[in-house]
């Protein structure tokens, strides 16, 4: 029964399997450090991209908001311009109406 002495213990393979199953890396610390550096660079690039997209999205939203406000103010300006034109014409219309009434009054007195 000395066969156990000649056989390799299954424990190292079992530990390797468990480590792989749990997601633990069996790489050297140097290899793990390089991997972490690479992941850090990739995450920084993704972060920059997300920040740029967010900034552009905010700018686009603000631009649309300003455009809508401008359109609203343009409509108000047009409305005010029409009102001003009406106010300028009103005295002339009142004067014509006054002249008509004055003429009618003179005709009635005659």
For the chain, the structural domain boundaries read 28-109
- Residue linked to tokens 């409509």: 75
Query: What pLDDT is stored for residue 1 in this prediction?
Result: 45
**Phi, psi for residue 28 in degrees, rounded to 5:** -70, 160
Collect all residues with Cβ–Cβ distance below 8 Å to 26 and sequence separation of at least 6: 16, 19, 20
Token digits of residue 69: 């406000």
Angstrom distance (rounded) from CA 82 to CA 76: 10
Residues 14, 16, 21, 27, Cα dihedral to 10°: 180
Query: What pLDDT is stored for residue 2 in this prediction?
Result: 46
Token digits of residue 99: 């002249």
Half-sphere exposure of 49 (CA within 13 A, CB side): 6
Angstrom distance (rounded) from CA 56 to CA 49: 10
Q: With a cut of 90, say whether residue 66 has pLDDT above it.
A: yes
Whole-prediction pTM value? 0.47
- Residue linked to tokens 């997601």: 23
Query: Which tens digit of pLDDT belongs to each residue from 69-95?
Result: 999 999 999 999 999 998 888 888 888
């Amino acid at each position: 029964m000395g066969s156990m002495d000649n056989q390799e213990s299954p424990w190292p393979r079992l530990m390797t399997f468990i480590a792989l199953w749990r997601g633990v890396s069996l790489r050297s610390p140097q290899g793990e450090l390089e991997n972490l550096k690479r992941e850090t660079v990739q995450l920084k690039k993704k972060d920059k991209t997300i920040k740029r997209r967010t900034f552009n999205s905010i700018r686009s939203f603000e631009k649309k908001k300003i455009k809508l406000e401008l359109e609203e103010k343009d409509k108000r300006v047009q409305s005010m311009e029409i009102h001003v034109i009406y106010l300028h014409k009103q005295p002339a219309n009142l004067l014509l109406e006054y002249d008509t009434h004055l003429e009618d009054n003179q005709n009635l007195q005659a």
